[in-house]
Amino acid sequence: MRVFLTGATGFIGSHVIQELRSRGHYVLGLTRSEAGAHRLEAAGVDVHRGDLEQPDTLASGAAAADAVIHCAFDHNFATFFENTKKDERNIAAMGEALAGTQKPILITSGVGIGTPLNGGPAMEDVFNPLHANPRIATELAGAALMARRIDVRTIRLPQVHDTTKAGLITPLVTEARRAGAVAYLGEGHTRWAAAHVSDVAKLYVLALEKGEPGARYHAAVEEGVTARAIAEGIGKGTGLPVRSVAADEVRRYFGWMAPFAGLGMAASSAWTRARLGWEPTGPELLTDLAAMDFSALTEA
């Protein structure tokens, strides 16, 4: 297949390229810059120039391919709500280009959207259209396309990591340095699901090749790593002290990330593994944190 890939020059997208090409697929990669175009060409990828601020440029890429994998998302959390609406517009535009075809589009959400109302790990069959997380806009956009019989498949991501980046843990390190300590709330029992980026890339391609229209897949390898274990891993790597904090101290230590301090994002992937035959092999989160060069860690 010829696959239009947004986020092609990003952390996850660059690994998806490798997996797609190893499986014999051709890739049309989205980029807005000359530097990005050179990187894609060097990776053996056809270049499609476009921008998340211009949905029509994504629509034309979708029209030129046999399938779409939409990994791109603006991760500027200062404008998080606006960015989710931008994602909604881009999904709608690409969906319009796919209307009346059998071409699949894989969209990207977060495992937290699948958290049951009564608690517990997120599940693939849970979809709450009134979810408080603004990222629900992505899945609502997907649902709107499904209502038009467009083949939409959703990949829900946990904390995706290697030894250079680790999801929300990357900006957490920045906040810890600012505060002078790595913190966890209370006893640190809050859990976050995690997966190595190589395993996530494999899941995208399996969902493309073997997935079902309308299905949601969880890219969670570890169901949940505790906040305390994560904080201790960061502390060892950075040399910063690690401490438990009370609720009234959260903003001091977590900064803009305060809402995440007590937010559980554990997730099951049992259904995903059974349906797609996904067999993760990458390192665990704490293994990557132990091998990480924290001096080179950035949020970009």
Q: What is the pLDDT of residues 2-35, one digit of tens each?
A: 999 999 999 999 999 999 999 999 999 999 999 9
What predicted TM-score, i.e. pTM, was given to this entire model?
Answer: 0.96
DSSP letters of 208-277? HHH--TT-EEE--SEEEEEHHHHHHHHHHHH---EEEE-GGGHHHHHGGGGGGTT--B-B--HHHHHHH-
CATH no., domain 162-193+223-266+282-296: 3.90.25
- How long is the chain? 300
Yes or no: say if 134 and 84 are a contact pair by the CB < 8 Å rule. Answer: yes
Q: What is the pLDDT of residue 77?
A: 80
- The three-state secondary structure class of 66 is coil
Q: How far is CA 171 from CA 86, 177, 275, in A?
A: 22, 10, 33
Q: What is the pLDDT of residue 298?
A: 61
Q: Phi, psi at residue 106, to the nearest 5°?
A: -100, 120
Q: Phi, psi at residue 183, to the nearest 5°?
A: -115, 155
Yes or no: say if 124 and 203 are a contact pair by the CB < 8 Å rule. Answer: no
Q: What is the pLDDT of residue 296?
A: 80
Q: Two tokens at 34? A: 């000359």
Q: Two tokens at 274? A: 């059974």
Q: Which of 14, 29, 273, 299 is nearest to 174 (CA)?
A: 299
What is the C-alpha to C-alpha distance for residues 117 and 169, in angstroms, rounded to an integer?
25
Q: Please name the amino acid found at residue 146.
A: M
Q: Would you give the DSSP letter of residue 38?
A: H
Q: What is the pLDDT of residue 49?
A: 97
Q: What is the pLDDT of residue 124?
A: 98
Instruction: Judge if 2-159+195-221 and 162-193+223-266+282-296 fold alike in CATH terms.
Output: no
Superfamily of domain 2-159+195-221 in CATH is NAD(P)-binding Rossmann-like Domain (3.40.50.720)
Yes or no: say if 61 and 49 are a contact pair by the CB < 8 Å rule. Answer: no
Q: Where are the domains of the chain?
A: 2-159+195-221, 162-193+223-266+282-296
Question: Pairing mode, if any, of strands 242-245 and 105-110?
Answer: unpaired
- The three-state secondary structure class of 95 is helix
* Segment holding 143, helix H or strand E: helix 136-146
Q: Which of 216, 38, 57 is nearest to 124 (CA)?
A: 216
Average pLDDT by stretches of 10, the chain with 300 residues? 97 98 98 96 96 97 98 89 96 98 97 92 94 93 97 98 95 96 97 98 98 98 98 97 97 94 96 98 98 77
Question: Pairing mode, if any, of strands 222-226 and 242-245?
Answer: unpaired
